[in-house]
A and B are shown apart, each in its own frame.
Chain A
Amino acid sequence: MEQFIYYLKVSLKGIKRAPLPYALTIFILSVGLGVFFANATFYYQLNSDPLPDKSDKLFFPMINLVPYQCTTDCRTPRVLSYSNVQKLSQSDIPSQAAAMYSADGYLRVNAGQPPLPVSIRITQRDFFTMFEVPLLHGSIWPDNSARHEVILTRASAEKLFGRTDVVGETLLLDDRNVTVSAVLDSWQMLPRLYDANNRNHLTDADDIYLPLETGYDMNYLSNSQSSTFDDTDYRQLSTQGRTGALHQLQYWVQLDTPAQQQAYRQFMHNLVMDEKAAGRHPSEPNNQLVAMQDIVSYFGGDSSDIKAFALVTLLFLLVCLFNASHLSLNRYLSNQYEFSLRRALGASRSQLQLQMLADVLLMAGFTIAGALLTGYAGIKLMNQLLPANRLFSDWDLPLLLGLLAIAVVCSYLVTLYPSLRASFGTLNQQLKE
């Protein structure tokens, strides 16, 4: 240990002898790594799996069951109609299933209060178990039937009442009475893959939850996408909306085994064939069963800017690495005489390598500090310039450890080649020079 401290001291002396090149090396490495860190953070968070043990079991079934024959655009609609979902839910193959959409509404405790604008997720019972939503108070609706009961998030409960245990309280949701049946614990699913249409997966979770049937009864239209493919009146959601081709629903099913998945595919196929036979499916069948992991790219919602930037920052990191190794090579070459002298005085290669290790550690220390600083600034800047990805800018432990490892490896690479050159060059020749 004491020996190692000696090596560290020697390293520091080397730095003091030529501080500018060393500072420049650190600067360049820090900038390169910092920029890389900032982008890697977004890339990592955006591509992270919010439900690692489940995401390959959750599927979004889509069928082209619409009352027109497609001519040009034969893609299956991204949202389903109420009757589509009813037909798809006839199967008991999925262990869980929930249809859903989101709408905007105003919530208040009583008519005298100013309204609180809320985003409402209008969904079914299984939503909460399927996406592992933690419950704080109360209980989830026992079935999928209509009921004037809402489930609040912890944050909206606190905002409305100043406390969380508010089960049984009544509220006015767009001037209609509803009861609180449960309060959720703090929960964030990022990216919010169940709502990937229109890149909504990048946004925050909704504020309150309402049963699907009640949402239709209350005539809530989707705030993300509602399309009609016939002359259904948007204003008659509770009646025409349930029968006509008004598409606004997402539908997720949990299929635990490949056999179940296959069976469900077959079920979809049979369903579509029956509909076709009945003359209700004029277009060619185009069934899709998209796994949750693939839903973002299926909807074309990949964050291409981050991808493009990832490519570019990687290049930049390479450039910085080249540059830094160039600089430190120069630094070592100007110290080479001393290095050779040391070897002439009897330092073994392994001792010199220990010296190198000290150099690497010292450089890694400085570089990590610089890179974290630059990375942090870079993230702030990217949040300013690309606010859509704002929620994906946090550092967590595995990410941080990965980044640190990369920084150490880079410092090692930058120190390795030059010091190898300095220590393995022919001793004789260097002393002669």
Chain B
Amino acid sequence: MSFYLLIKGLLNRKVVTALLLLQLAMTLALLLNSILLAQQTHQQLNQPTGLDLDNIVLVQLKPTTASLRVYPALEELLNRQLAAVSALPDVVAAAYSNQSAILQGGNNGNVYLDGEEGRSNQPSVPMYFVSKDFFRVLDSKLLQGELPQQSVSLDNPVPPDVVITQSLARQLFADKPAIGQQLNRGRLAAVISDFYGQRSGTNVMFNSIQVAPPFGVDWGYSILLRTTPGRADVVRQRLDQTLRAVEPNIEIFHIRSLAEQHQRLYRNEYGLAMLLAILSALMLLVTMVSSYSSTYFHALKRQQEIGIKRALGASKNTIFIELLSENWLCTAVGALLGVMLALLLNQALAQVISIPALSGYLPLITIAVLLLCVTVATWYPAAIATRVSPATATKAL
């Protein structure tokens, strides 16, 4: 088996070889970028949310009659609904909130230290107006201060106390004492552990919470429940009926676990990664077909040549390895081109979507996968080719 002759053989079939190389390169480029995207999506889906996603259930709902959307009828409705769902078996804690956690966007606004708006302002921080068990539902850890125990109206002369998450506290106060400081929304009462708020915010872990009835429910509101571990599905099934029994004039938009909510939030990314993965699989299939057919035709056309080589002392193994090596060589050269192409494609894709840059061991793995596929596809026709009878192949026409 000789490298020199291999290359020579390939050069003799310039067009076919060039096509094969191009195709291999493109396949590799696409494969690499799909893997990158899939990896990124996977990371996004697995980034910490600070929430026990599986055991928190979210109900999004809205009263359908206008009279139920104004105080005091609204507050009374909220409390009746809370009481009913809290009484359900397997519900550990329940709270209402003007909006859920883990959203794309929602109710948000500026948060800054009173009198220091220019220096300390944090834009688009989600604002939650919740009942007092909200923190128990999320299982937040109290890091500083004390959680408010009373619901205070937002229209109160002294606005309700504010609870913020750790990341936001660090951003606003660095290491200085935070409790008791005056924020634009009210006095800071407590700092709790981080949780995933809104994806469109500057930092998904920035959140500010006040224990107060929401201003209004024109956009609907959320009831959040913590269930005993593993019982979320059971609780979910009873929620619709329970809530309608409390008040029939409501529309329930959806009932989901936060895990589901999280998945939906990244559905587009997931979809794109999935599509690219399917496309990559198709590309590998196409590459395999092409390796298969090029070996098949090559062997068919070169029966005489293979016969001669056998007569000159090439064993079946030699012929087999020769055929495989030819494809390996092609794949290797194609892969090198492919890595370059992948870099270009990566840059092109980065213009339209967020995709991490190409790096490290990934190309190696991808090349290995490609080689494996090519080998599998070449195996059968190459094995057939070695069965050429040298006596027949060398016979005069």
> What sequence of 0s and 1s flags, for each residue 150-179 of chain B, a beta carbon within 8 Å of any chain A beta carbon?
000000000000000000000000000000
Of A125-133, A153-161, A382-390, A423-431, the one with at least 4 CB within 8 A of chain B: A382-390
Q: Find the residue from B30, B216, B218 having the highest chain A CB count within 10 A.
A: B218
Give Cα distance in the complex from A409 to B147, angstroms. 70
Of A2-10, A85-93, A276-284, A303-311, the one with at least 4 CB within 8 A of chain B: A303-311
Q: Does B283 contact A (CB under 8 A)?
A: yes
Of A137-145, A184-192, A288-296, A328-336, the one with at least 4 CB within 8 A of chain B: A328-336
Q: Does B84 contact A (CB under 8 A)?
A: no
Q: Does B282 contact A (CB under 8 A)?
A: yes
Across the interface, do A175 and B23 meet the contact criterion of CB distance under 8 Å? Answer: no
Across the interface, do B30 and A27 meet the contact criterion of CB distance under 8 Å? Answer: no
Across the interface, do A221 and B353 meet the contact criterion of CB distance under 8 Å? Answer: no
Across the interface, do B275 and A323 meet the contact criterion of CB distance under 8 Å? Answer: no
Across the interface, do B20 and A326 meet the contact criterion of CB distance under 8 Å? Answer: yes
Across the interface, do A312 and B290 meet the contact criterion of CB distance under 8 Å? Answer: no
- In the complex, 18 of the A-B residue pairs with CB atoms within 8 angstroms, ordered by the A residue number, are A21-B293, A28-B286, A28-B290, A32-B286, A106-B251, A117-B64, A304-B352, A315-B29, A319-B27, A320-B286, A322-B19, A322-B23, A326-B16, A326-B20, A384-B271, A385-B274, A386-B271, A386-B275
Give Cα distance in the complex from A27 to B349, angstroms. 28
Contact partner, A73, options B62, B123, B251, Cβ 8 Å: B123
Instruction: Report which B residues bind A (CB closer than 8 A).
Output: 15-16, 19-20, 22-23, 26-27, 29-30, 33, 62, 64-67, 105, 118, 123, 215-216, 218-219, 249, 251, 267-268, 270-272, 274-276, 278-279, 282-283, 285-287, 289-290, 293-294, 297, 300-301, 345, 348-349, 352-353
Contact partner, B282, options A175, A316, A385, A386, Cβ 8 Å: A316
- Enumerate chain A residues within 8 angstroms of B286, measured Cβ to Cβ: 28, 31-32, 319-320, 323
- Enumerate chain A residues within 8 angstroms of B105, measured Cβ to Cβ: 198
Across the interface, do B282 and A312 meet the contact criterion of CB distance under 8 Å? Answer: no
* New A-B pairs, 15, CB < 8 Å, besides A28-B286, A174-B65, A322-B19: A24-B293, A28-B289, A31-B286, A175-B65, A176-B66, A311-B348, A312-B33, A315-B30, A316-B30, A316-B282, A319-B27, A320-B286, A381-B275, A385-B271, A386-B268
- Enumerate chain A residues within 8 angstroms of B33, measured Cβ to Cβ: 312
Q: Does A270 contact B (CB under 8 A)?
A: no
Q: Does A115 contact B (CB under 8 A)?
A: yes
The tally of residues in A whose CB lies under 8 Å from a CB in B reads: 53
Q: Does A196 contact B (CB under 8 A)?
A: no
Across the interface, do A316 and B297 meet the contact criterion of CB distance under 8 Å? Answer: no
Give Cα distance in the complex from A384 to B84, angstroms. 36
Q: Does A350 contact B (CB under 8 A)?
A: no
Contact partner, A334, options B216, B271, B294, B297, Cβ 8 Å: B297
> What sequence of 0s and 1s flags, for each residue 99-119 of chain A, a beta carbon within 8 Å of any chain B beta carbon?
000011010000000010100
Contact partner, A316, options B22, B268, B283, B348, Cβ 8 Å: B283
Q: Does A235 contact B (CB under 8 A)?
A: yes
- Enumerate chain A residues within 8 angstroms of B349, measured Cβ to Cβ: 308, 311-312
Q: A323-B19, A381-B275 are in contact. Are A31 and B282 (CB under 8 A)?
A: yes
- Enumerate chain A residues within 8 angstroms of B352, measured Cβ to Cβ: 302, 304, 307-308, 311
Contact partner, B218, options A176, A221, A313, Cβ 8 Å: A221
Across the interface, do A386 and B67 meet the contact criterion of CB distance under 8 Å? Answer: no
Across the interface, do B26 and A318 meet the contact criterion of CB distance under 8 Å? Answer: yes
Q: A175-B67, A323-B290, A334-B297 are in contact. Are A305 and B283 (CB under 8 A)?
A: no
Across the interface, do A308 and B216 meet the contact criterion of CB distance under 8 Å? Answer: no
In the complex, which residues 222-262 of chain A have their Cβ closer than 8 Å to any Cβ of chain B?
Answer: 223, 234-235
Give Cα distance in the complex from A106 to B66, angstroms. 9
A326 (CB) vs chain B CBs: closest residue:
B19
Across the interface, do B22 and A322 meet the contact criterion of CB distance under 8 Å? Answer: yes
Across the interface, do A115 and B251 meet the contact criterion of CB distance under 8 Å? Answer: yes
- Enumerate chain A residues within 8 angstroms of B249, measured Cβ to Cβ: 115
Give Cα distance in the complex from A221 to B216, angstroms. 10
Give Cα distance in the complex from A292 to B8, angstroms. 59
